[in-house]
């Protein structure tokens, strides 16, 4: 992620909240990513660069190394929308006394972080909608560390929807408490692993499997309806204003 990881890292370093343990997990990159990591080594608590079993293996490595009370995962294509995101998340945990917190996300062009192309509304999520395949935007999800200790880490047999399976496990089967921040807190570049048609089909198959494993009743019709809903969801102008206000 040589082309994007510096933006990601700077968005962490610029956070106003002072007590951040920043851990970087790299899969043994040879594209120059490690050079950028070394450039900011003094600001990183721990970093690892070695071959891994995929994105969920990498996330598990980071969780195992983390010592903090709250864990958030920021992919190398993503950035926090402003410098006060972590301060607001911590404040929300203190005020609401919940197990987890999530917010909205905006997709932006790969070459322009200020060009919003889609809005992910995590507010449409509730436990009942797990059967449709709905979930909070995973990069916006912050979870107390003890939840991972109690319910386990990401399952590596999932290649695309391991984040959904974890959410189905902790929100569905586990019924953990949560609070929703009603505004965007993450910018994500377009073009992720699940964006192709072939991978969308694989995604739905994995979501179906995750629901079955966690006692959530679903079928492929419900999952298809989710896709139709997402395509038809409007992009209200007030959400555009919300993005501008958050930056």
What does pLDDT average to over the chain?
A: 91
Q: Supply the pLDDT for residue 239.
A: 60
| Cα–Cα distance, 66 to 73 (Å, whole number) | 11
CA distances from 44 to 7, 59, 108, 152 (A): 15, 16, 26, 25
Classify 97 in phi/psi space as left (phi over 0), alpha (psi -120 to 50) or beta: left
**Poorest-pLDDT segment among 21-35, 133-147, 178-192:** 178-192
Q: Supply the pLDDT for residue 191.
A: 73
In this structure, how many other beta carbons lie within 10 angstroms of the beta carbon of residue 137? Answer: 22
pLDDT tens digits, 175-227: 999 999 999 999 999 875 555 667 878 999 999 999 999 999 999 888 888 76
Report residue 148's pLDDT band, with 50, 70 and 90 as the boundaries: very high
CA triple 49-67-21, angle to 5 deg: 65
| Cα–Cα distance, 169 to 175 (Å, whole number) | 8
Tell me the two tokens of residue 231: 């395509």
- Provide the H-helix boundaries in the chain: 5-13, 33-39, 55-65, 85-96, 145-151, 162-167, 197-213, 220-232, 237-246
DSSP state of 103: E
Q: What average pLDDT does range 165-178 have in this prediction? A: 96
Q: Would you say residue 88 has pLDDT above 60?
A: yes
- Predicted TM-score (pTM) of the model is 0.91
Q: Supply the pLDDT for residue 194.
A: 52
**Burial grade of 29 (CB within 10 A; 0-12, 13-18, 19 or more):** middle
Q: What average pLDDT does range 40-57 have in this prediction? A: 96
Q: Supply the pLDDT for residue 201.
A: 85
- How long, in residues, is the chain? 247
Q: What are phi and psi of 205, to 5 degrees?
A: -65, -40
């Amino acid at each position: 992620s040589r082309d994007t990881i510096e933006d990601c890292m700077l968005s962490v370093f610029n956070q106003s909240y002072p007590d951040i343990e920043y851990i970087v997990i790299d899969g043994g990159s040879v594209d120059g990513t490690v050079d950028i990591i070394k450039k900011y080594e003094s600001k990183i608590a721990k970093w690892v660069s070695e071959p891994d079993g995929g994105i969920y293996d990498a996330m598990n490595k980071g969780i195992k190394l983390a010592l903090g009370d709250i864990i958030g995962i920021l992919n190398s294509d993503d950035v926090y929308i402003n410098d006060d995101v972590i301060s607001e998340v911590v404040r929300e945990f203190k005020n609401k006394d919940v197990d987890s917190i999530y917010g909205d996300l905006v997709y932006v062009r790969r070459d322009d972080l200020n060009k919003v192309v889609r809005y992910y509304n995590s507010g449409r999520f509730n436990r009942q909608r797990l059967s449709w395949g709905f979930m909070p935007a995973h990069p916006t999800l912050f979870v107390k560390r003890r939840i991972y200790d109690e319910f386990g880490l990401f399952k590596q047999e999932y290649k695309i929807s391991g984040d959904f399976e974890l959410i189905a496990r902790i929100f569905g089967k586990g019924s953990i408490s949560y609070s929703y921040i009603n505004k965007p807190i993450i910018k994500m570049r377009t073009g992720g692993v699940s964006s192709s048609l072939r991978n969308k089909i694989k995604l739905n198959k994995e979501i179906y499997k995750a629901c079955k494993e966690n006692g959530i009743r679903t079928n492929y019709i419900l999952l298809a309806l989710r896709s139709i809903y997402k395509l038809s969801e409007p992009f209200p102008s007030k959400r555009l204003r919300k993005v501008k206000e958050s930056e």
